[in-house]
């Protein structure tokens, strides 16, 4: 399992929300480039970069930060937030993203998932299935799609999708730990999918628990910024793959 640190961007700074709520935002005195460089220096190879400004506005707002991080580090960056059109996907890839996370856009029409795969291929895309009370959330986690996660995943698999980021919104940013009962059944049922788990990670033990669920990768953010998990420990886990 790959362990991926997260940087969430708002107003040019590193922040973390609690359960996706913009009114519960913790801003860290950290520059995104300095933070990414510290990840790289510790031996980290991947980065999850979230454009919270873009998620709120419905269009990317921090592509310049993505471009800077892609040029100034060797990190393999997956980028998301406000990507709601084919041109926006292309812009993110051209700015340096190795993969692009799509959430709301995938629910905008029945033909959209297939069109995305045909245009960019499965390896360049990640379906962000963010779960709130069993249903997939959209529009920066502010609305429900009305569809349960299993239905969404099965439809995307049928359309050629391979990578899925599964976030438990109720635990995101809370440091309460992930819910194995969410991830184990998914990994067992959909063996062809590559699941990336996150939400609530607060310790190395939580990371190891996600690994035991059979996930492809795990994401952690707040725990790193608050010193609960060290970059060195994450890097060691990655070298043990």
Helix or strand (DSSP H, E) at 129: strand 125-132
Catalytic annotation present for 8: yes
Q: Which of 130, 132, 168, 172 is catalytic?
A: 130
Burial zone of 206 (CB within 10 Å; 0-12 exposed, 13-18 middle, 19+ buried): buried
Catalytic annotation present for 51: no
Backbone angles phi, psi at 215, to 5 degrees: -80, 155
Pairing of strands 46-51, 76-80: parallel
Burial zone of 75 (CB within 10 Å; 0-12 exposed, 13-18 middle, 19+ buried): buried
Token pair in block for residue 89: 């996907």
Give the C-alpha separation, 106 to 216, whole Å: 22
| Dihedral sign (CA 91, 215, 137, 190) | positive
The catalytic residues are: 8, 130
């Amino acid at each position: 399992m790959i362990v991926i640190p997260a940087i969430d961007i708002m107003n040019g700074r590193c922040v973390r929300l609690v359960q996706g709520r913009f009114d519960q935002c913790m801003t860290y005195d950290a520059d995104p480039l300095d933070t990414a460089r510290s990840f790289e220096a510790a031996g980290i190879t991947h980065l999850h970069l979230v454009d919270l400004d873009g998620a709120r506005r419905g269009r990317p707002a921090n592509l310049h930060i993505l471009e800077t991080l892609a040029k100034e580090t060797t990190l393999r960056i997956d980028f998301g937030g406000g990507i709601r059109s084919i041109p926006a996907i292309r812009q993110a890839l051209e700015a340096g993203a190795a993969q692009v996370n799509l959430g709301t856009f995938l629910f905008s029409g029945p033909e959209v998932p297939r069109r995305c795969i045909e245009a960019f291929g499965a390896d360049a895309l990640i379906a962000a299935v963010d779960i709130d009370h069993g249903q997939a959330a959209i529009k920066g986690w502010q609305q429900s799609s009305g569809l349960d996660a299993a239905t969404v995943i099965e439809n995307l698999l049928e359309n050629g999708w391979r990578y899925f980021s599964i976030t438990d919104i109720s635990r995101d940013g809370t440091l309460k730990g992930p819910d194995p009962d969410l991830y184990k059944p998914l990994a067992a049922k959909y063996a062809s999918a590559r699941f990336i788990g996150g939400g609530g990670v607060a310790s190395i033990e939580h990371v190891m628990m996600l690994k035991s669920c059979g996930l492809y990768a795990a994401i952690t953010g707040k725990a790193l910024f608050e010193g609960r998990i060290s970059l060195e420990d994450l890097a060691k886990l990655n070298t043990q793959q």
